Amino acid sequence: MFSRELSKHFGKSLCKRVFLSRNVTADEWNLGCVTAIWMRGMICFALRAKWPPPVYEQMTNSNSRRKQRLVSLLYCWGIVAVTVLPAEAQQTDQLQQQLDELKQQYDATTKDLAKRIAALEQQIEKDKQTQSKAKESTISAAELAGQGAARNAVSGNSNQVGAKYQGQVPLDPTYDQLQEAENKIEGLQRQVGAFEFHGYLRSGYGLNSEGGQQVAFQAPGTEAKYRLGNEAETYGEFIFVNNWLNPGAHPDQAWVKTEVMIEANTTNSTNSASFPQAVVNGQVTSGGNDQFRLREAFVRGGHFLGDTQPDAIFWGGERYYRRQHVEIDDFYPLDLSGYGAGIEDVRLGITKLAVAFLAGARPDITTQNGNYAKSNIDVRFYDVKGPLGMYGAWFDFATSKGGTTPTGTVIPTSSGEALGFKFQHLEWHGGYNAFSIQYGTGVAGNFSSNGSGTVVEDPIPFINSQAQFLITEQVLLQPNDKFAIMPIFVYQRTKDGNPLHPWQQWVSFGARPEIFFNKYLSIAFEGGFDHTHSQVAPLYDGWLRKFTIAPQIGAGRKFFTRPVLRAFLTYGNWSDGLRGFVGGIPFQNRTDGFTYGVQAETWW
C-alpha cells in the first residue's frame, strides 16, 4: 500500500515538475493525460490477448503492486512524450530563429561598415590629392575659403551644411551622412572653380633726405616716371571674376564670365586718414584721403558663333581695353579704356580683328545736350605673323558733341582720328621686344595716358587742331637665370592746337638691370633720363636724372617674378631749368635730393 502511494506521489510530482519546468500549457497537459490513459488501455489489451482470462486475472491480482507502478510510469511517460518533447522542439526552433536573426544583423552590420570604410578611404584619397595640389601651386584666398567650407561640411561646423541642416553629426557618421557631405563638397568645389581672384598691389614707406615723407622725382610735362624706388604711394587693383558658363574652359563650348575690378590708392598717410584737399605748386592734391574707384565692371563671353569663329569674344561694360604698357616707367602709349562694348579676336585670314565702342564724360561740363562726352570707334588688326615677329595696326575715330553751357559759353563740336603701328618680337633672348609708332589729331590725339583711360579734355577753341606723335621702344633681355635687363625709349611731341604755340617735347630713356644671386636674393638697379621742353605756360626746359639701387627678396630668378620685397635708395638730380618743378616742397629750391625706404610688390 505504501509503495502504491509512493508511486502515485512520485508520478504526480514528476509530472508536476515537468509541467512547471517546461512551462507546459493546459492544453498540452490535458493531451498528455489522454495519451497516458490510451497507452494504459493498449497495454491492458495486449496482456489480455497474450494470456487467457484466468491467467490474466491471476496475474493482475497477484501482481497488483507491480501493475500499479507500471501504470503510473506509463502515465508519466505519456505526459512527458506529449509535453516535454514538443517543448524541446519548440525551444530548438526559437534558438534557430535567434541564430538566423543574429546572422542577418551580422550581414547588415558588415555591409554598412564596408560602405563606411570605402567612403572614408575615398575621402582620405581626395584629401591627399588636395594636399598634393596645395604643395605644387599657390592657393588663392577664394580656394582656401572653399576648402575650409568643404572641411566644415564633413565635420558639421559650417553654417551652410552639417549641424544647421541635419543636426549634430555623430562621432561615427553613417554612410548617408558621408554621401551627403561629399555631395556638398562637390558643390562647393564647383563654386570655387567658377570664381577667380586676381590683382596687383604695391605698398611701402619711405623718407626723403630732409626727414619728411618720401616724394617722387618726376619731370614736368611727362606722363610717367621711372618706378623703382620712386613710388611714394600704396596702390592696388583687385579683380573678381565669376565664370557663369563653362567654368572648366572647355574649348568647344560657349563661356560667359563677369569681371569687376576695384582700384585703390593712398598717399601713405596715416591709416584711415581724412584730410582736406591742398594746393601744392599750383596742383590740387587729395590731402591724404584714401581713394577707391570702380575701374572694371563688364561681362564677356565667347564661342557663340560655333566653329565659324570659335575665338570671337563679345563684351560690354566698363573695362581696361587692350592697353599697351611700358613696364619700368609705368607709361601707357595706348589706353582708350572706358565704357562701351565690342567684339575681339575675330579671325580674318592672316590677322585678328577687334572693334569697340568706347566713351567717357565730364560731369563738370554741361550743355543743353547734357554732360560733355567723348566717343571712340576703335578698330584693331593684330597677330599678323611676319619677318622677325608679330605685327599689328589700329585706327580710332573720336567725336565730342558741343553746345552752350549754362553761362553762355559755346563749345564747338569736335572730332579727330588716330592711327598706330606695333611690332612685337616675342620669346627673344629670354624676353621680348616691343616697338610702336602712333599719331593722332583732334579729340583723338590724346590716346596715351598714365593709366587713366579715355581722356575728355577741356573743350578749348583749338581742340580740332591739337595733335600727338609718339614712338616707344622697350626690350627685355634675360639670357640666363642670373641676369636680366630692360631698356626703354620714349619720344613724344604734343601740340595744343593754338597756332601761336609750338610743339612740346618729351624724350626719355633708361634701363633696369637685375642680378640674381640665388632663387630668392637679387639686386636691382635703375637709371633713367628725361628731357622736357615747353614754351607754353608754365615754361620749362631741362633734364632729370634718377638712379636707384634696391636689394630684393623674391620668389624666383625672373625679371617679372613676384612677389618681391625690396629696400631702396634713390638719388635724383636735375638742371636749373627744372628748379622748383621736381621733388615737391622738400626740394623746391634745390636741384638734387635722395630718398630711401622699403616696398612690397606683387601681382597674381
DSSP assignment of 458-485 equals ---TTGGG-EEEEEEEEEEB-SSSSEEE
pLDDT of residue 418: 97
User: What pTM was estimated for this model as a whole?
Assistant: 0.69
Residue 285 domain flag: yes
Region 17-30: mean pLDDT is 49
- Provide the b/e sequence for 574-599 (b: ≥16 CB within 10 Å): bbebbbebbbbebbeeebebbbbbeb
Q: 417 or 113: whose pLDDT is higher?
A: 417
3-class DSSP state for residue 1?
A: coil
The neighbouring-strand residues paired with 440 are 418, 468
Backbone angles phi, psi at 335, to 5 degrees: -155, 100
Residue 517 domain flag: no
CB-based contacts of 70, cutoff 8 Å, min separation 6: 43
Find the largest Cα–Cα distance for the chain: 172
288 sits in the region (left: phi over 0; alpha: psi -120 to 50; else beta) called: left
pLDDT of residue 14: 42
Q: Are strands 313-319 and 324-326 parallel, antiparallel or unpaired?
A: unpaired
Residue 368 domain flag: yes
Region 134-138: mean pLDDT is 47
Choose the final residue of a domain: 107, 128, 160.
Answer: 107
Residue 189 domain flag: no
Domains in the chain, number: 2
Q: Of 26-40, 225-239, 405-419, give the lowest mean pLDDT range.
A: 26-40
Task: For 312-341, write each residue's pLDDT tens digit.
Answer: 999 999 999 999 999 999 999 999 999 999
Using CA atoms, how far apart are residues 354 and 226, in angstroms rounded to an integer? 32
DSSP 316: E
Residue 36 domain flag: yes
* 178 pLDDT more than 50: yes
**98 and 222 both lie in a single domain:** no
Task: For 269-278, write each residue's pLDDT tens digit.
Answer: 776 656 666 5
Region 112-119: mean pLDDT is 80
pLDDT of residue 98: 76
- Amino acid making up residue 141: A
* Residues 364 and 483: beta-carbon distance below 8 Å: no
Angle at 413 between CA 411 and CA 414, to 5 degrees: 115
* Residues 256 and 301: beta-carbon distance below 8 Å: yes
Choose the final residue of a domain: 472, 507, 542.
Answer: 507
Task: For 497-527, write each residue's pLDDT tens digit.
Answer: 999 999 999 999 999 999 999 999 999 999 9
Categorize the per-residue pLDDT at 106 as very low, low, confident or very high, splitting at 50, 70 and 90: confident
Residue 392: give the domain boundaries.
Answer: 218-507
Choose the final residue of a domain: 492, 507, 522.
Answer: 507
Categorize the per-residue pLDDT at 365 as very low, low, confident or very high, splitting at 50, 70 and 90: very high
pLDDT of residue 465: 93
DSSP 213: B
Q: 306 or 108: whose pLDDT is higher?
A: 306
Using CA atoms, how far apart are residues 449 and 159, in angstroms rounded to an integer? 47
Cα–Cα distance list, 50 to 54, 55, 493 (Å): 12, 10, 151
**97 and 224 both lie in a single domain:** no
CATH number at residue 447: 2.40.170.10
Residues constituting the chain:
604
**226 and 375 both lie in a single domain:** yes
Residue 559 domain flag: no
Task: For 35-84, write each residue's pLDDT tens digit.
Answer: 555 555 555 554 454 444 544 444 444 444 554 555 455 555 444 444 44
**503 and 354 both lie in a single domain:** yes
**225 and 102 both lie in a single domain:** no
Residue 536 domain flag: no
Residue 276 domain flag: yes
Q: Which three cell numbers stand for residue 509?
A: 630713356
- Amino acid making up residue 553: I
Query: Per the omega criterion (within 30 degrees of 0), is the bond before 563 cis?
Result: yes
Categorize the per-residue pLDDT at 95 as very low, low, confident or very high, splitting at 50, 70 and 90: confident
Grid coordinates 567654368 are at which residue? 247
Using CA atoms, how far apart are residues 332 and 324, in angstroms rounded to an integer? 6
* Residues 215 and 583: beta-carbon distance below 8 Å: yes
Closest Cα partner for 345 from 357, 355, 336?
355
**102 and 230 both lie in a single domain:** no
Task: For 148-174, write each residue's pLDDT tens digit.
Answer: 443 443 344 444 443 333 344 334 445
Closest Cα partner for 393 from 439, 347, 349, 433?
439
Using CA atoms, how far apart are residues 16 and 29, in angstroms rounded to an integer? 10
pLDDT of residue 189: 61
Q: Is 602 exposed, middle or buried (0-12, 13-18, 19+ CB in 10 A)?
A: middle
Angle at 396 between CA 395 and CA 402, to 5 degrees: 160
For residue 353, what is the enclosing H or E element? strand 351-367
**502 and 367 both lie in a single domain:** yes
Categorize the per-residue pLDDT at 175 as very low, low, confident or very high, splitting at 50, 70 and 90: low
